[in-house]
Amino acid sequence: MIPVGVVMGSDSDFLVMEETLNILVYFDILYEVKVSSAHRTLERTLNWVRQFEDQGGKLIIAAAGLAAHLPGVIAGATILPVIGVPMRGGALEGVDALYSIVQMPPGIPVATVGIGAARNAGILAAQILAQDDQSLRQRLKNHRMKMAAEIEAKDGVIQDKLKKKL
């Protein structure tokens, strides 16, 4: 069973969404990737969502730019959690995508990360899956400790530089 589906409205989203895939690999989470459009390939998108859910998929990460209907269309077609990633681009640099994803109608939520925040989408997916997976939960805790240690080390470097200037 593949727990995470990653869907992009365009192949041009791949460079950003590769960060999601890297996080999923880092946490040893299986995924499948699909390029499908809410507008240009609606039936294909809906069929994929139904098949993914029927196969035991656990959640979907959907990236879209401009009008960004892909995450909402997917959320309307499944009860699986959907994480939306608004993509930067167009005249509004992704703000339109952000609003389109985050402002869902009552009853059809889409968890939304920041514009282009594909890494956070992967981490949120891991956190959702960790609710039923102790091993994954521990890997997330270890990751948090690693990030904290990195910040402390960077602070140490800055503190040393400041001491040398005095």
- Sign of the torsion formed by the C-alpha atoms of 16, 32, 26 and 114: positive
Which one has a higher pLDDT value, 37 or 91?
37
What is this structure's pTM? 0.93
Return the pLDDT at 97: 92
Position 166 pLDDT exceeds 80: no
- 106 token code pair: 């009552």
* Helix and strand element counts for the chain (H, E): 6, 5
Helix axes 134-165, 118-129, angle to 10 degrees: 140
Write the pLDDT tens digit of every residue in 122-131.
999 999 999 9
Return the pLDDT at 114: 97
Return the pLDDT at 88: 93
- Asked if 60 and 124 count as a contact pair (C-beta separation under 8 A), the reply is no
* Residues 6 or more apart whose Cβ sits within 8 Å of residue 43: none
Write the pLDDT tens digit of every residue in 79-120.
999 999 999 988 888 899 999 999 999 999 999 999 999 999
